[in-house]
């Protein structure tokens, strides 16, 4: 089982994101190093489609979202975690 974290962008994501992007990227590192963050990135149109990340545990996804500079600073309007039963495992 994997855990997908979905982000819904704030109305002014294009204006807010650049100021917080370096801290947001730095935030990934411990999760990647521990093997908890598998994938991360925005959809084609971040304003209307948001972004997603894939984690190995719900706890890691929750910790990431609660402490992410994008969430803390209002770049992200809301977030949701869904269980994902990956059908093809590498």
- Report domain extents, the chain: 2-84
Whole-prediction pTM value?
A: 0.93
- Walk along the chain (90 residues) and give the pLDDT tens digit of each residue: 999 999 999 999 999 999 999 999 999 999 999 999 999 999 999 999 999 999 999 999 999 999 999 999 999 999 999 999 988 766
Helix (H) or strand (E) holding 64: helix 58-67
Tokens describing residue 69:
């500079």
Please tell me the CATH code under which domain 2-84 is placed: 3.30.70.1060
Give the separation between CA 13 and CA 87, rounded to whole angstroms: 33
């Amino acid at each position: 089982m994997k855990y997908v974290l979905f982000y819904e962008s704030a109305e002014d994501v294009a204006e807010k994101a650049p100021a917080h992007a370096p801290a947001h990227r730095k935030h990934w590192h411990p999760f990647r190093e521990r093997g908890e963050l598998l994938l991360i990135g925005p959809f084609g149109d971040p304003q209307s489609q948001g972004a997603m990340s894939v984690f190995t545990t719900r706890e890691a996804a929750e910790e990431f979202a609660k402490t992410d500079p994008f969430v803390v600073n209002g770049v992200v309007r809301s977030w949701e975690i869904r269980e994902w039963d990956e059908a093809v495992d590498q």
